[in-house]
Chain A
């Protein structure tokens, strides 16, 4: 199953590259640099998914004390940090030619940086506690509290004046994106979700083996 997911992710990523660089047109104002969106937006959506799973795994662990839920939360937390890191770096690279700066303390950027730091802290906490039960318990509490940041990041562009544009997908209004650009974004989002599922499956298996040794 994991191997199949891996090959599906590879095919998805190739299809995503073809859609983003071959099928989707060059954006009218930004030109080719807008193609970073096919990496940036799927990365942040994958990070939301990962941190959502940290929340689910953490609540379920505290309710049931089954180690499988802790493995899910810990594995998803690691992947969330990876995809948030890609989001921040790709956004920074996109910001330089479009905003004229690599970084600004805008609400969206700052809240994303806080989200990143919270889950780096979550991983540090997991690595510092040796007793598996105590580690799972403390990590679950941080995993639940950390999830408060997810809606703050997402709605930051609505709640505060921000340089970052408002949500063009996952927003209340119909998306104004050109259909070809929207399709390329959708293909890349599916590809990133498949890649996430593959990584999560492998990471959880490693966590299971680590628990046995």
Chain B
């Protein structure tokens, strides 16, 4: 059997977690910016 190689497992899951969490943050930020824009427009009017 091969050695445990936990470092590779942690690296793969870690990079995937960063990518997925980063994408989720990006979506959340973009959604906040888009929903804030009409509200700011309405306040200005």
Give me the interface of A with B, judged by CB distance under 8 Å.
28-33, 35-36, 39-40, 43, 82, 85-86, 89-90, 93-94, 96-98, 195, 199, 202-203, 205-206, 209-210, 213
Interface residues of B in 12-45 (CB under 8 A from A): 12-13, 15-16, 19-20, 23-24, 27, 30-31, 34-35, 37-38
Residue of A31, A40, A210, A213 touching B2 (CB-CB under 8 A): A31
Q: Which 8 A-B pairs have the closest CB atoms?
A: A33-B5, A209-B34, A93-B12, A90-B12, A97-B5, A36-B12, A31-B2, A202-B27
**A42 to nearest B CB, angstroms?**
10
Q: Tell me if A93 and B27 are in contact (CB < 8 A).
A: no
A82-B23, A206-B31 given as contacts; is B1 within 8 A of A93 (CB)? no
Give me the interface of B with A, judged by CB distance under 8 Å.
1-6, 8-9, 11-13, 15-16, 19-20, 23-24, 27, 30-31, 34-35, 37-38
Q: Which of B5, B24, B35, B37 has the most CB of A within 10 A?
A: B5
Prevailing SS type, chain B contact patch: helix
**B29 to nearest A CB, angstroms?**
10
A36-B12, A199-B24 given as contacts; is B30 within 8 A of A206 (CB)? yes
Q: Tell me if A206 and B34 are in contact (CB < 8 A).
A: yes
Q: Tell me if B2 and A33 are in contact (CB < 8 A).
A: yes
Q: What are 11 A-B interface contacts by the 8 Å CB criterion?
A: A33-B9, A39-B12, A82-B20, A86-B15, A86-B19, A93-B12, A97-B5, A195-B20, A199-B27, A210-B34, A213-B37
Chain A positions within 8 Å of B31 at CB level: 202, 205-206, 209
**A43 to nearest B CB, angstroms?**
7
Q: Which of B4, B8, B31 has the most CB of A within 10 A?
A: B8
Chain A positions within 8 Å of B34 at CB level: 206, 209-210, 213
A209 to B32 CA separation, bound complex (whole angstroms): 11
Chain B: which residue is nearest A91 at the CB level? B12
For the A-B complex with A97-B3, A98-B2 known, give 10 more contacts whose Cβ atoms are closer than 8 Å: A33-B8, A36-B8, A39-B16, A90-B12, A94-B12, A96-B8, A199-B24, A206-B31, A206-B34, A209-B35
